[in-house]
Amino acid sequence: MTILPITITGEPVLHRGNQPVTVFDDRLRTLAADMLETMDAAPGVGLAAPQVGVDARMFVYGWTDEEDVEHRGVAVNPELWIMPAPAGPLDEDDDEGCLSVPGARYPTRRSRHALLKAQDEHGRHYELRADGWLARILQHEYDHLDGVLYVDRLEDPHAYAAHKYIRKHHWGKPGLTWTPGVDDIVA
């Protein structure tokens, strides 16, 4: 397995919808394994194919909940159903970060519940009902497949702060990546 470079905001594949996966072969399974290894090394709780420069509707996720239950998998050609996000003030429990905007965390409005329908790396169909933090992870990664970063969903004053953070780091242009374990950028 290989730890892959992670694209930083500004890379075109991060800002457009991605293509469905049509071939379930060893290349796809290797990509899934490499993405899981990269996510773990970052460390992160999710990673979408466009974040490693691949134009494909695929993401991985890995998170252990407060009851020590591990939620880990590969979602290929996912569909995601959510309820509307609750209104009201956001707090630190709503903070998100992103490996493609490394080092920043901002409160992001998300639904508390999600239903994921997807295929795994072998093409097998599955469903996953998620609540709380896992629902947030799935929504965040699914957004990547439609070219939406969490900073695109922020409300002011956090939207302003995020764009200022991106400008400060001279991101927002193609060709920028970082590699977990190699570069000193930490998310």
Contact 62, 45 (CB under 8 A): yes
At a CB cut-off of 8 Å and minimum separation 6, what does 182 contact? 3
Instruction: Check 11, 96, 121, 141 and give the catalytic one.
Output: 141
Residue 89: C-alpha distances to residues 23, 92, 94 (Å): 44, 10, 10
> How far is it, in rounded angstroms, from Cα 30 to Cα 130?
26
Q: What is residue 155's three-state secondary structure? A: coil
Q: Is 98 annotated as a binding residue?
A: yes
Q: Is 144 annotated as a binding residue?
A: yes
Residue 42: C-alpha distances to residues 1, 54, 122, 138 (Å): 15, 18, 25, 18
11 as an active site residue: the answer is no
Q: Is 140 annotated as a binding residue?
A: yes
- Cα torsion for 32, 33, 35, 38, to the nearest 10°? 180
> How far is it, in rounded angstroms, from Cα 148 to Cα 159?
14
Q: Which residues are annotated as a binding site for Fe cation?
A: 98, 140, 144
Annotated active-site positions, please? Answer: 141
